[in-house]
Amino acid sequence: MTADRPLIELRGLHRVFGDTHAVRGVSFEVGPGEVFGYIGPNGAGKTTSMRILATLDEPTAGDAYVDGLSVTEDPDRVRRRLGFMPDYYGAYRDVNVKEYLDFFARSYGLRGDDRRRALAYAMDFTGLDKLAYKPMDGLSKGMKQRLALGRTMIHDPAVMVLDEPAAGLDPRARIELREMISRLAQLGKAVLISSHILTELAAICHKIGILEQGQLLAVGSVEEISRQARPHSMITLKILSDPQAAEAWLRDRKDVEHIEQVEQRFTLRHAGDDAARADLLAAMVEYGIRVAEFRSQETSLEDLFLHVTEGRVQ
Protein backbone atom coordinates (compact mmCIF):
# COMPACT_ATOMS: atom_id res chain seq x y z
CA MET A 1 0.00 0.00 0.00
CA THR A 2 1.39 3.40 -0.90
CA ALA A 3 0.58 6.37 1.30
CA ASP A 4 -1.68 8.12 -1.17
CA ARG A 5 -3.55 5.14 -2.59
CA PRO A 6 -7.14 5.00 -1.37
CA LEU A 7 -8.01 2.08 0.89
CA ILE A 8 -11.67 2.29 -0.10
CA GLU A 9 -12.82 3.09 -3.60
CA LEU A 10 -16.33 2.90 -5.02
CA ARG A 11 -16.48 3.30 -8.79
CA GLY A 12 -19.82 3.84 -10.49
CA LEU A 13 -21.57 1.44 -8.14
CA HIS A 14 -25.15 0.40 -8.96
CA ARG A 15 -27.52 -2.01 -7.23
CA VAL A 16 -30.99 -2.73 -8.53
CA PHE A 17 -33.56 -4.81 -6.61
CA GLY A 18 -36.51 -5.44 -8.92
CA ASP A 19 -38.09 -2.00 -9.39
CA THR A 20 -35.84 -0.32 -6.82
CA HIS A 21 -32.66 1.30 -8.05
CA ALA A 22 -31.13 1.41 -4.55
CA VAL A 23 -27.63 2.62 -5.51
CA ARG A 24 -27.16 4.75 -8.63
CA GLY A 25 -23.60 5.25 -9.81
CA VAL A 26 -21.93 6.02 -6.49
CA SER A 27 -18.19 6.83 -6.57
CA PHE A 28 -15.92 8.03 -3.78
CA GLU A 29 -12.58 7.26 -2.15
CA VAL A 30 -11.32 7.04 1.42
CA GLY A 31 -7.61 7.18 2.16
CA PRO A 32 -5.58 5.75 5.04
CA GLY A 33 -6.25 7.61 8.30
CA GLU A 34 -9.47 9.13 6.95
CA VAL A 35 -12.99 8.94 8.39
CA PHE A 36 -15.65 9.24 5.71
CA GLY A 37 -19.16 10.05 6.94
CA TYR A 38 -21.85 8.52 4.79
CA ILE A 39 -24.95 10.57 5.45
CA GLY A 40 -28.43 9.95 4.14
CA PRO A 41 -32.03 9.44 5.18
CA ASN A 42 -33.55 6.00 5.68
CA GLY A 43 -33.63 4.07 2.44
CA ALA A 44 -30.96 6.21 0.74
CA GLY A 45 -28.82 3.18 -0.12
CA LYS A 46 -26.13 3.42 2.58
CA THR A 47 -26.50 -0.13 3.89
CA THR A 48 -26.76 -1.58 0.39
CA SER A 49 -23.51 0.03 -0.77
CA MET A 50 -21.73 -0.83 2.49
CA ARG A 51 -22.82 -4.46 2.21
CA ILE A 52 -21.39 -4.59 -1.32
CA LEU A 53 -18.11 -3.15 -0.04
CA ALA A 54 -18.12 -5.80 2.70
CA THR A 55 -18.64 -8.53 0.02
CA LEU A 56 -22.06 -9.48 1.45
CA ASP A 57 -23.85 -8.50 -1.76
CA GLU A 58 -22.84 -7.92 -5.38
CA PRO A 59 -23.26 -4.79 -7.48
CA THR A 60 -25.52 -4.75 -10.53
CA ALA A 61 -22.86 -2.60 -12.21
CA GLY A 62 -19.65 -0.85 -11.24
CA ASP A 63 -17.21 -2.12 -8.65
CA ALA A 64 -15.69 -1.34 -5.28
CA TYR A 65 -12.10 -1.82 -4.13
CA VAL A 66 -10.54 -2.40 -0.75
CA ASP A 67 -6.82 -1.75 -0.65
CA GLY A 68 -6.87 -1.99 -4.45
CA LEU A 69 -8.66 -5.37 -4.50
CA SER A 70 -11.98 -5.73 -6.30
CA VAL A 71 -14.88 -6.87 -4.10
CA THR A 72 -16.33 -8.81 -7.03
CA GLU A 73 -13.11 -10.48 -8.21
CA ASP A 74 -11.22 -10.93 -4.97
CA PRO A 75 -13.81 -11.16 -2.16
CA ASP A 76 -11.76 -13.52 0.04
CA ARG A 77 -8.74 -11.21 0.14
CA VAL A 78 -11.03 -8.20 0.64
CA ARG A 79 -12.58 -9.83 3.73
CA ARG A 80 -9.19 -10.19 5.38
CA ARG A 81 -8.59 -6.46 5.02
CA LEU A 82 -12.03 -5.27 6.03
CA GLY A 83 -14.14 -5.24 9.18
CA PHE A 84 -17.89 -4.68 8.82
CA MET A 85 -20.11 -3.67 11.72
CA PRO A 86 -23.76 -4.12 10.70
CA ASP A 87 -26.60 -2.05 12.13
CA TYR A 88 -28.06 -5.01 13.99
CA TYR A 89 -26.67 -7.00 16.85
CA GLY A 90 -26.98 -10.75 17.08
CA ALA A 91 -28.02 -12.15 20.44
CA TYR A 92 -25.96 -15.01 21.81
CA ARG A 93 -27.08 -16.70 25.00
CA ASP A 94 -24.60 -17.76 27.66
CA VAL A 95 -21.61 -16.29 25.84
CA ASN A 96 -19.34 -13.87 27.64
CA VAL A 97 -17.42 -10.95 26.14
CA LYS A 98 -14.13 -12.80 25.86
CA GLU A 99 -15.67 -15.94 24.37
CA TYR A 100 -17.49 -13.85 21.78
CA LEU A 101 -14.33 -12.07 20.64
CA ASP A 102 -12.40 -15.31 20.78
CA PHE A 103 -14.93 -16.93 18.44
CA PHE A 104 -14.42 -14.21 15.82
CA ALA A 105 -10.64 -14.25 16.25
CA ARG A 106 -10.70 -17.99 15.53
CA SER A 107 -12.98 -17.60 12.56
CA TYR A 108 -10.46 -15.15 11.07
CA GLY A 109 -7.85 -17.89 11.43
CA LEU A 110 -5.90 -16.28 14.28
CA ARG A 111 -4.04 -18.91 16.30
CA GLY A 112 -2.00 -19.17 19.51
CA ASP A 113 -0.21 -16.01 20.63
CA ASP A 114 -1.54 -14.04 17.67
CA ARG A 115 -5.09 -14.75 18.82
CA ARG A 116 -4.35 -13.92 22.46
CA ARG A 117 -2.67 -10.66 21.45
CA ALA A 118 -5.58 -9.72 19.15
CA LEU A 119 -8.08 -10.40 21.95
CA ALA A 120 -6.13 -8.43 24.53
CA TYR A 121 -5.74 -5.53 22.11
CA ALA A 122 -9.41 -5.41 21.12
CA MET A 123 -10.55 -5.59 24.76
CA ASP A 124 -8.10 -2.90 25.83
CA PHE A 125 -9.00 -0.65 22.86
CA THR A 126 -12.72 -0.87 23.56
CA GLY A 127 -12.31 -0.72 27.35
CA LEU A 128 -13.98 -4.12 27.72
CA ASP A 129 -11.14 -5.80 29.60
CA LYS A 130 -12.93 -5.31 32.92
CA LEU A 131 -16.03 -6.99 31.50
CA ALA A 132 -14.26 -9.99 29.94
CA TYR A 133 -16.34 -12.59 31.79
CA LYS A 134 -19.66 -10.77 31.71
CA PRO A 135 -22.42 -12.48 29.68
CA MET A 136 -23.14 -10.57 26.49
CA ASP A 137 -26.87 -10.37 26.99
CA GLY A 138 -26.29 -8.48 30.26
CA LEU A 139 -24.39 -5.66 28.58
CA SER A 140 -25.77 -2.13 28.15
CA LYS A 141 -26.36 -0.88 24.61
CA GLY A 142 -23.16 1.20 24.78
CA MET A 143 -21.12 -1.80 25.91
CA LYS A 144 -22.69 -3.96 23.20
CA GLN A 145 -21.59 -1.43 20.60
CA ARG A 146 -18.07 -1.53 22.04
CA LEU A 147 -18.14 -5.29 21.74
CA ALA A 148 -19.37 -5.08 18.15
CA LEU A 149 -16.52 -2.67 17.40
CA GLY A 150 -14.05 -5.03 19.10
CA ARG A 151 -15.31 -7.87 16.91
CA THR A 152 -15.00 -5.68 13.79
CA MET A 153 -11.35 -4.84 14.53
CA ILE A 154 -10.25 -8.26 15.85
CA HIS A 155 -8.26 -9.16 12.70
CA ASP A 156 -6.69 -5.68 12.50
CA PRO A 157 -8.31 -4.72 9.19
CA ALA A 158 -7.04 -1.72 7.21
CA VAL A 159 -10.64 -0.76 6.39
CA MET A 160 -13.54 -0.48 8.82
CA VAL A 161 -17.13 -0.11 7.63
CA LEU A 162 -19.55 0.85 10.39
CA ASP A 163 -23.26 0.98 9.64
CA GLU A 164 -25.10 3.41 11.94
CA PRO A 165 -22.92 2.57 14.96
CA ALA A 166 -24.27 5.48 17.05
CA ALA A 167 -27.95 4.60 16.64
CA GLY A 168 -29.67 4.19 19.99
CA LEU A 169 -26.67 5.27 22.08
CA ASP A 170 -26.95 7.82 24.86
CA PRO A 171 -24.92 11.06 24.49
CA ARG A 172 -22.02 9.84 26.61
CA ALA A 173 -21.73 6.55 24.72
CA ARG A 174 -21.84 8.52 21.45
CA ILE A 175 -18.91 10.66 22.53
CA GLU A 176 -16.94 7.59 23.57
CA LEU A 177 -17.72 5.91 20.25
CA ARG A 178 -16.52 8.99 18.36
CA GLU A 179 -13.26 8.94 20.32
CA MET A 180 -12.71 5.29 19.44
CA ILE A 181 -13.38 5.99 15.75
CA SER A 182 -10.91 8.87 15.74
CA ARG A 183 -8.31 6.57 17.32
CA LEU A 184 -8.91 3.98 14.59
CA ALA A 185 -8.16 6.66 11.99
CA GLN A 186 -5.02 7.66 13.88
CA LEU A 187 -3.89 4.05 13.51
CA GLY A 188 -4.02 4.61 9.74
CA LYS A 189 -7.26 2.77 9.03
CA ALA A 190 -9.81 4.03 6.52
CA VAL A 191 -13.19 4.27 8.26
CA LEU A 192 -16.52 4.48 6.45
CA ILE A 193 -19.31 5.30 8.88
CA SER A 194 -22.96 5.88 8.13
CA SER A 195 -25.59 7.92 9.88
CA HIS A 196 -28.76 9.73 9.02
CA ILE A 197 -27.70 12.52 11.38
CA LEU A 198 -25.05 14.79 9.95
CA THR A 199 -24.17 16.58 13.19
CA GLU A 200 -23.37 13.27 14.81
CA LEU A 201 -20.45 12.75 12.43
CA ALA A 202 -19.31 16.22 11.42
CA ALA A 203 -16.79 16.57 14.25
CA ILE A 204 -14.82 13.42 13.46
CA CYS A 205 -15.16 13.10 9.68
CA HIS A 206 -12.48 14.28 7.31
CA LYS A 207 -14.97 14.01 4.46
CA ILE A 208 -18.67 13.47 4.15
CA GLY A 209 -20.80 12.17 1.32
CA ILE A 210 -24.50 12.93 1.21
CA LEU A 211 -26.51 10.11 -0.31
CA GLU A 212 -30.12 10.44 -1.28
CA GLN A 213 -32.27 8.05 -3.30
CA GLY A 214 -29.17 6.09 -4.24
CA GLN A 215 -27.21 9.08 -5.54
CA LEU A 216 -24.31 10.90 -4.00
CA LEU A 217 -25.39 14.53 -4.01
CA ALA A 218 -22.27 16.04 -2.50
CA VAL A 219 -18.83 14.88 -1.38
CA GLY A 220 -16.20 16.90 0.46
CA SER A 221 -15.34 18.34 3.83
CA VAL A 222 -18.21 19.85 5.81
CA GLU A 223 -16.77 23.30 4.95
CA GLU A 224 -16.62 22.52 1.22
CA ILE A 225 -20.20 21.30 1.18
CA SER A 226 -21.37 24.32 3.17
CA ARG A 227 -19.74 26.57 0.58
CA GLN A 228 -21.51 24.79 -2.27
CA ALA A 229 -24.88 25.23 -0.63
CA ARG A 230 -26.93 28.34 -1.34
CA PRO A 231 -27.44 30.56 1.68
CA HIS A 232 -30.61 29.74 3.53
CA SER A 233 -32.05 29.94 7.01
CA MET A 234 -34.79 28.68 9.27
CA ILE A 235 -37.41 31.33 10.00
CA THR A 236 -39.93 31.19 12.81
CA LEU A 237 -43.00 33.39 12.61
CA LYS A 238 -46.01 34.30 14.67
CA ILE A 239 -48.92 35.57 12.63
CA LEU A 240 -52.01 37.35 13.94
CA SER A 241 -54.09 37.23 10.75
CA ASP A 242 -55.71 34.10 9.24
CA PRO A 243 -53.02 31.35 9.36
CA GLN A 244 -54.55 29.36 6.46
CA ALA A 245 -54.38 32.38 4.17
CA ALA A 246 -50.81 33.09 5.29
CA GLU A 247 -49.80 29.50 4.68
CA ALA A 248 -51.30 29.49 1.20
CA TRP A 249 -49.41 32.69 0.40
CA LEU A 250 -46.13 31.27 1.76
CA ARG A 251 -46.56 28.03 -0.19
CA ASP A 252 -46.73 30.01 -3.43
CA ARG A 253 -43.29 31.51 -2.89
CA LYS A 254 -40.32 29.87 -4.56
CA ASP A 255 -37.91 30.96 -1.81
CA VAL A 256 -39.94 29.26 0.95
CA GLU A 257 -39.52 25.53 1.58
CA HIS A 258 -40.63 23.13 4.31
CA ILE A 259 -43.41 24.99 6.05
CA GLU A 260 -44.57 23.71 9.41
CA GLN A 261 -47.57 25.36 11.01
CA VAL A 262 -49.03 25.01 14.48
CA GLU A 263 -51.93 27.43 14.91
CA GLN A 264 -50.40 30.88 14.48
CA ARG A 265 -46.79 29.79 14.63
CA PHE A 266 -44.83 28.85 11.51
CA THR A 267 -41.39 27.42 10.95
CA LEU A 268 -40.08 27.56 7.43
CA ARG A 269 -36.89 27.08 5.52
CA HIS A 270 -35.97 30.07 3.44
CA ALA A 271 -33.53 30.09 0.55
CA GLY A 272 -31.77 33.43 0.46
CA ASP A 273 -29.53 35.86 2.31
CA ASP A 274 -30.32 38.70 4.74
CA ALA A 275 -31.62 40.94 1.96
CA ALA A 276 -33.93 38.22 0.63
CA ARG A 277 -35.30 37.69 4.14
CA ALA A 278 -35.98 41.42 4.50
CA ASP A 279 -37.83 41.29 1.16
CA LEU A 280 -39.90 38.34 2.34
CA LEU A 281 -40.98 40.19 5.47
CA ALA A 282 -41.82 43.33 3.50
CA ALA A 283 -43.87 41.29 1.00
CA MET A 284 -45.80 39.57 3.80
CA VAL A 285 -46.71 42.87 5.41
CA GLU A 286 -47.63 44.38 2.06
CA TYR A 287 -49.95 41.43 1.35
CA GLY A 288 -51.72 42.14 4.64
CA ILE A 289 -50.31 39.35 6.79
CA ARG A 290 -49.97 40.65 10.35
CA VAL A 291 -46.54 39.50 11.52
CA ALA A 292 -46.06 39.61 15.30
CA GLU A 293 -42.72 37.76 15.38
CA PHE A 294 -40.10 37.07 12.72
CA ARG A 295 -36.89 35.34 13.74
CA SER A 296 -34.23 33.69 11.63
CA GLN A 297 -31.64 31.17 12.72
CA GLU A 298 -28.15 30.49 11.45
CA THR A 299 -27.90 27.56 9.09
CA SER A 300 -27.15 24.45 11.10
CA LEU A 301 -25.60 21.30 9.77
CA GLU A 302 -29.01 19.67 9.82
CA ASP A 303 -30.40 22.50 7.69
CA LEU A 304 -27.47 22.01 5.34
CA PHE A 305 -28.33 18.34 5.03
CA LEU A 306 -31.97 19.16 4.30
CA HIS A 307 -30.83 21.75 1.80
CA VAL A 308 -28.49 19.40 -0.05
CA THR A 309 -31.17 16.73 -0.21
CA GLU A 310 -33.66 19.46 -1.20
CA GLY A 311 -36.40 17.94 0.86
CA ARG A 312 -36.48 14.78 -1.24
CA VAL A 313 -36.07 12.79 1.95
CA GLN A 314 -38.17 9.63 1.76
Ligand X SMILES: Nc1ncnc2c1ncn2[C@@H]1O[C@H](COP(=O)(O)OP(=O)(O)OP(=O)(O)O)[C@@H](O)[C@H]1O
- Chain residues binding ligand X by CB under 6 A are 17, 20, 22, 40, 42-48, 196
Least separation in angstroms between residue 165's CB and ligand X is 12
- Closest to ligand X by CB, 52 vs 184, is 52
Least separation in angstroms between residue 147's CB and ligand X is 21
Helices assigned H by DSSP within the chain: 46-53, 75-81, 97-107, 112-125, 141-152, 171-186, 198-202, 222-228, 243-251, 274-287, 301-308
- Closest to ligand X by CB, 42 vs 186, is 42
- Closest to ligand X by CB, 31 vs 43, is 43
Least separation in angstroms between residue 15's CB and ligand X is 8
- Closest to ligand X by CB, 8 vs 246, is 8
- Closest to ligand X by CB, 18 vs 90, is 18
Least separation in angstroms between residue 193's CB and ligand X is 12
C-alpha distances (whole Å) from 13 to each of 83, 208, 252, 261 are 20, 17, 38, 40
Q: From the centroid of its chain, how far is CA 34?
A: 14
Please enumerate in sequence order all residues whose Cβ is within 8 A of that of 115, keeping only pairs 6 or more positions apart, or say none: 102, 105, 106
- Closest to ligand X by CB, 25 vs 43, is 43
Least separation in angstroms between residue 20's CB and ligand X is 5
Least separation in angstroms between residue 121's CB and ligand X is 30
